Amino acid sequence: MKTGSLRKRVAVVTLSLLAIVLAAVVAAVTLAYRSKLESDLRGRLSAAGTAVERAGSGSAAKPLVQGLALEGIATRIGSALQPLPPGKGAPRTAPVKSGSSIHTRGSLLVLDELLPDGTQVSFSTSQASVDHAITNLLLVEIIVALAALALATLLVVRGTNAALRPLSQVIETATRIAAGDWTLRLRPSRTDTELGSLAAAFDHMVDALEAAAEEALASDTATRRFLADASHELRTPIAALQASAETLLREQPERPERDRLEAQLARDTSRLGRLVDDLLGLARLEAQPGQDPIALADLTREAVDNAQAHTAARVTLDLDDEPTVYGEANALNRILRNLLDNAVSAAPDGDVHLRLTRSNGDIEVQVTDSGPGVPVNERERIFERSIRLDPTTPGSGLGLAIARRIARQHNGELTCDPCPSGASFTLRLPSAT
């Protein structure tokens, strides 16, 4: 990209075009003025020839010589043709044909006139006056053109500075944005002009850069938070595993103590596996979900069948519709599985009910249980990371945080709703049909 001075380019191009126009005007005026002066000279010569021709003879034309001289026309009258002497051939009977012609002779413009009586009359006038007038005209034109060019230079420089002032504003704004002031924008009053389009494109670019910077910052924050969560959550089960393993290796206890430690080791291992799975699921939330059409009723049936196969609780399903939503099947299945797992854990011998309905254009999946319920002041707090209302309950405290995040990534929401008894969770998703 060439980065020469735009002001200089505009000024040079504008003044060059103006100089060409002025030169063309000077040439056209000069040529037209010369043609006019030469035409006037020819007209005066022609008028002189006409006057002499009207006189008819050289002798009659002589009184006109003095008047023509005052007009700058020199007159030379030749002698008339004489008849032949007697006996010298046949008498001249052919008439003399009169006429005139104008031609240039050096610096003179000459008109030769032949009168009817055979008299040769020559009129001449100098073209020096024309050359002098043209020289004076050229001098005046050059002075005026130079003055006009100088004035135009001043106006072009000032006009260019004024016209390019918006570019200076762009440079200043870009410099301040680079220094950290991301709130600045050009905000053009019109976008249908060149400068307006440039300003609008600049604002769009800065918005995109700001969004990218915020996304990068959010990603970095999420990574740091994930590492902090992972290190915090993994510390306890790993320590428990290490303690159980060291006890088994160091003390070699007899049964039933050995069986108790091995069972504890298996439980801690299972808990660690679930925790790692939750942490990996949390990390995957940073990626955007897919936008595939999902038959939500099929997902709910699958989740309910799986819950019924692994619990003594009475799990029931009520489908009012067969809706379709857009999203990622595995992610949505994770929400349903988490809600049912929590409900079964809260009411292991009670009732768990899942209902799928359509409400105001959205799809709602409601999961209720007959367990102890969730206190009013804890209904939002349980969606925070690492929050467990019952510390004795197995789990990492990340399940509901992950489920809500997935719901919001699908342009939906997950809430804990008021309920007369037990707990009630509702998943809302926009319908695709």
> Which pLDDT band holds residue 94 (cuts at 50, 70, 90)?
very low
Please state, as a whole number, how many other Cβ atoms lie within 10 Å of the Cβ of residue 339: 27
Residue that finishes a domain, picked among 113, 139, 161: 161
Give the residue-averaged pLDDT of 215-231: 71
Structure confidence at residue 175 as a pLDDT band (50, 70, 90): confident
44 is in which domain, residue-wise? 6-79+99-161
Question: What values do phi and psi take at 290, rounded to 5?
Answer: -70, 175
Residues 189 and 264 in one domain: yes
* pLDDT bracket for residue 414 (50, 70, 90): very high
Q: How confident is the model at residue 4 (pLDDT cuts 50, 70, 90)?
A: low
| pLDDT given at position 229 | 63
40-93 pLDDT per residue, tens: 888 877 877 777 777 666 666 677 777 777 777 777 777 654 444 554 444 443
Domain boundary among 161, 183, 206: 161
Residues 264-288: pLDDT tens digits? 788 778 777 766 776 676 666 555 6
Same structural domain for residues 15 and 153? yes
Q: Are residues 10 and 155 in the same domain?
A: yes
Residues 6+ apart with CB under 8 A from 180: none
The reply to whether 12 and 155 lie within a common domain is: yes
Is 1 within the bounds of a domain?
A: no
For the chain, percent of residues with pLDDT exceeding 70: 82
Q: Are residues 229 and 357 in the same domain?
A: no
More confident residue, 299 or 262: 299
Residue 83: its pLDDT value, please?
Answer: 47
Asked if pLDDT for residue 214 goes beyond 70, the answer is yes
Q: Is residue 91 part of a domain?
A: no
Answer whether residue 395 is part of any domain: yes
Q: Which pLDDT band, with edges at 50, 70 and 90, does 254 fall under? A: confident
Is 21 exposed, middle or buried (CB count within 10 Å of its CB: 0-12, 13-18, 19+)? exposed
What lies within 8 Å, CB to CB, of 155 at 6+ separation is: none
Asked, for residue 303, whether it belongs to a domain, the answer is: yes
Question: Which of residues 161, 182, 204 is at a domain's end?
Answer: 161
Tokens for 391, please give them: 């510390």
**373 phi-psi bin (left φ>0, alpha ψ -120 to 50, beta other):** left
> Which string of b and e fits 396-432 if b means at least 16 CB within 10 Å?
bbbbbbbbbbbbebbebebebeebeebbbbbbbbebb
- Calpha distance 400→414 (Å, rounded): 9
Q: How many domains does the chain have?
A: 3
How high is the pLDDT of residue 378? Answer: 84
DSSP summary character for residue 72: T
Q: Are residues 313 and 274 both part of a single domain?
A: no
Residue 86 covered by a domain = no
Report yes or no: 174 and 199 within 8 Å, Cβ to Cβ.
no
425 near 414, Cβ under 8 Å?
yes
Q: Taking the complete model, does pTM exceed 0.85, yes or no?
A: no
Average pLDDT taken over every residue of the chain: 79
Nearest to 44 by CA among 92, 88, 89, 110: 110
% of the chain residues with pLDDT over 90 = 15
Burial 241-260 (b: 16+ CB within 10 A, else e): beebeebbeeeeeeeeeeee
Render pLDDT for 314-372 as a digit per residue (tens, 0 to 9).
999 998 778 889 988 888 988 998 899 889 888 888 899 999 998 888 999 999 999 88
Answer yes or no: is 255 within a domain. yes
Which residue would you say has higher pLDDT here, 139 or 65? 139
Residue 329 and residue 232 share a domain: no
If asked whether residues 205 and 309 sit together in one domain, one would say no
**88 lies in a domain?**
no
